[in-house]
Chain A
Amino acid sequence: RKEVEQDPGPFNVPEGATVAFNCTYSNSASQSFFWYRQDCRKEPKLLMSVYSSGNEDGRFTAQLNRASQYISLLIRDSKLSDSATYLCAVKSGGYNKLIFGAGTRLAVHP
């Protein structure tokens, strides 16, 4: 089983829709969680961190469910510019690295 798993999608949604992705992790000792965004053929960029209490940044909300070992990303009022691949990343305590999921592709259409 992969340490970090994501539904590859694609999620095809119209502009204005609300869409949510989940990401499951297998290591219960994982401490820190993040979402990265990657545009086609470009480098990943940090989108937001995921705190235990949840984290909201404009139209984006990230949440953590430790009991079920998953994190989620909710995008409200989708824009065409949100079309990208969203990677979740997990940092386990004591390890100086991130484990990335394979990504979920989002396509927002007019």
Chain B
Amino acid sequence: EAQVTQNPRYLITVTGKKLTVTCSQNMNHEYMSWYRQDPGLGLRQIYYSMNVEVTDKGDVPEGYKVSRKEKRNFPLILESPSPNQTSLYFCASAYQRDRVHEQYFGPGTRLTVT
């Protein structure tokens, strides 16, 4: 089954404790992206990747890191989480830059930082 998976789905953590949210897709997509979704603000892009070893900042990259060592995986790293990073996070993938609008989203990760 073609899908984007994220783990964990729910996470409660404390300020400053490093965490990683994994994202994996099995569709051989070149393009992958991370979003956060907050009430009234919609989906905002954190980072995206056009291909392996190619990443770039989105609109709200502060406090996040990503890596793309393999085509299928695109982990999101919070080195020192803060309460303002409490949000719903979505990973997404698309075939390639010309079809970035056809994004397939993962099920989401609900993160709470206390």
Chain A residues with CB under 8 Å of chain B are 4, 8, 32, 34, 41-46, 49, 87, 89, 91, 96-98, 100-103
Chain B residues with CB under 8 Å of chain A are 31, 33, 35, 40-45, 48, 50, 58, 90, 97, 100-103, 105-108
**Complex formed: what's the CA distance from A34 to B108 in Å?**
21
> Which chain A residues lie closer than 8 Å to B90 at the CB level?
43-44
- B100 to A44, Cβ gap below 8 A? no
- A43 to B107, Cβ gap below 8 A? yes
- A96 to B105, Cβ gap below 8 A? no
> Which chain A residues lie closer than 8 Å to B48 at the CB level?
96-97
- Lowest 7 A-B CB distances belong to which pairs? A102-B42, A43-B105, A100-B43, A100-B42, A96-B97, A34-B101, A44-B105
Q: Say which residue of B42, B100, B101 sits within 8 Å of A103 (CB atoms).
A: B42
- A96 to B100, Cβ gap below 8 A? yes
Of all chain B residues, the one with the shortest Cβ separation from A43 is B105
> Which chain A residues lie closer than 8 Å to B100 at the CB level?
91, 96-98
Of all chain A residues, the one with the shortest Cβ separation from B91 is A43
> Which chain B residues lie closer than 8 Å to A96 at the CB level?
31, 48, 50, 97, 100
- B105 to A97, Cβ gap below 8 A? no
| Selected A-B contacts with CB under 8 Å, 15 pairs | A4-B42, A8-B40, A43-B105, A43-B106, A43-B107, A44-B103, A44-B105, A46-B101, A46-B103, A87-B42, A96-B50, A96-B97, A96-B100, A100-B44, A102-B42
| Max chain B Cβ within 10 angstroms of own Cβ: one of A42, A49, A102 | A102
Known: A34-B101, A96-B50. 15 other contacts (CB 8 A): A32-B101, A43-B105, A43-B106, A43-B108, A44-B103, A46-B101, A49-B101, A96-B100, A97-B45, A97-B58, A100-B35, A100-B42, A100-B43, A100-B44, A101-B42
